[in-house]
Amino acid sequence: MEIIPAIDLRGGKCVRLLQGDYSRETVFSDDPPAMAKHWESLGAPRLHVVDLDGAREGEPRNLEVVRAICAAVSIPVELGGGMRDTAIAQQALEVGVDRVIVGTAALDPEAAAAFVAELGERVVAGIDARDGMVAVHGWLDTTAVRAVDLARKVVALGFRWIVFTDIQRDGTLGGTNIPALHEMVTAVSASVIASGGITTVEDLRAARNAGAAGAIVGRALYTGDLDLKAALEALC
């Protein structure tokens, strides 16, 4: 299972939100490329970058910072936030990202199918849930669609990767929602990457045991609650 450090961008800085709340932001670095190099130096196999401004506004706002991150490291970088159509996704790929994460657009079957047709396995479905229901537009709006139902639909359209985030756990250092993760993993044939609340090596092991192909870790790395190098060694 891959352990993937997260870099959330807002206003060009590396930040973390609490439960997706834009008013509860902590700035951890004003040099995201340096942060990316740091995680790579500790053994990170991949980086998960989210353009928070893009998620809220509907198109990426930090692409030049993302370009600098991609230029600073040799490991693959995935990017989410504002990927509402394939033209925007192509812009992200052109700055150097390995794959793009589609969230809000995944709810539209026609748009989701277009992403798969054009990008193949370079597109990932980002399914963010609050109380089991899909949240969109930078987590500001909660829909009436169940996360597992959306997962089944996007996999039927050809998505092979899903990033599943439990919003209420995200940034809380409270551990991940293993029952919800297990439900997601068993509902689809795609590879599921867990996100939200992962804090300890035990959380990572639980995610792996639930069938996750990867786990995204954010706040716990920045606060020092989780040591990336030690975690990689523990799960190897």
Q: List, for residues 186-219, the tens digit of each pLDDT value.
A: 999 999 999 999 999 999 999 999 999 999 999 9
Q: Which are the catalytic amino acids?
A: 8, 128
Say if residue 165's pLDDT is above 80.
yes
pLDDT of residue 17: 80
Confidence of residue 170 (pLDDT cuts 50, 70, 90): low
Looking at this protein, which amino acid is placed at residue 228?
L
Average of pLDDT values for 94-111?
Answer: 94
Collapse the DSSP code of 17 into the 3-class scheme (helix H, G, I; strand E, B; otherwise coil) and give the result: strand
Say if residues 219 and 197 touch (Cβ distance below 8 Å).
no
pLDDT of residue 172: 64
Collapse the DSSP code of 106 into the 3-class scheme (helix H, G, I; strand E, B; otherwise coil) and give the result: helix
CATH of the domain at 130: 3.20.20.70
SS3 letters for 165-209?
EECCCCCCCCCCCHHHHHHHHHHCCCEEEEECCCCCHHHHHHHHH
Average of pLDDT values for 231-235?
Answer: 95
Total number of residues shown for the chain: 236
pLDDT of residue 20: 64
pLDDT of residue 56: 87
Average of pLDDT values for 136-152?
Answer: 87
pLDDT of residue 66: 98
Say if residue 130's pLDDT is above 80.
yes
Q: How many domains in the chain?
A: 1
Say if residues 36 and 62 touch (Cβ distance below 8 Å).
no
In this structure, what DSSP letter does residue 62 have?
A: -
Collapse the DSSP code of 74 into the 3-class scheme (helix H, G, I; strand E, B; otherwise coil) and give the result: coil
Instruction: Kindly tell me the burial class for residue 100, based on how many C-beta atoms sit within 10 Å of its own C-beta (0-12, 13-18, 19 or more).
Output: buried
pLDDT of residue 167: 86
Say if residues 214 and 162 touch (Cβ distance below 8 Å).
no
SS3 letters for 115-168?
HHHHHHHHEEEEEEEECCEEEECCCCEEEEEEHHHHHHHHHHHCCCEEEEEECC
Looking at this protein, which amino acid is placed at residue 137?
H
Confidence of residue 135 (pLDDT cuts 50, 70, 90): confident
Q: Domain range for residue 172? A: 2-235
Collapse the DSSP code of 101 into the 3-class scheme (helix H, G, I; strand E, B; otherwise coil) and give the result: strand
Q: List, for residues 31-75, the tens digit of each pLDDT value.
A: 999 999 999 999 999 999 999 999 888 889 999 999 999 999 999
Average of pLDDT values for 155-167?
Answer: 95
pLDDT of residue 192: 98
Mean pLDDT of the chain: 93
Say if residue 173's pLDDT is above 80.
no
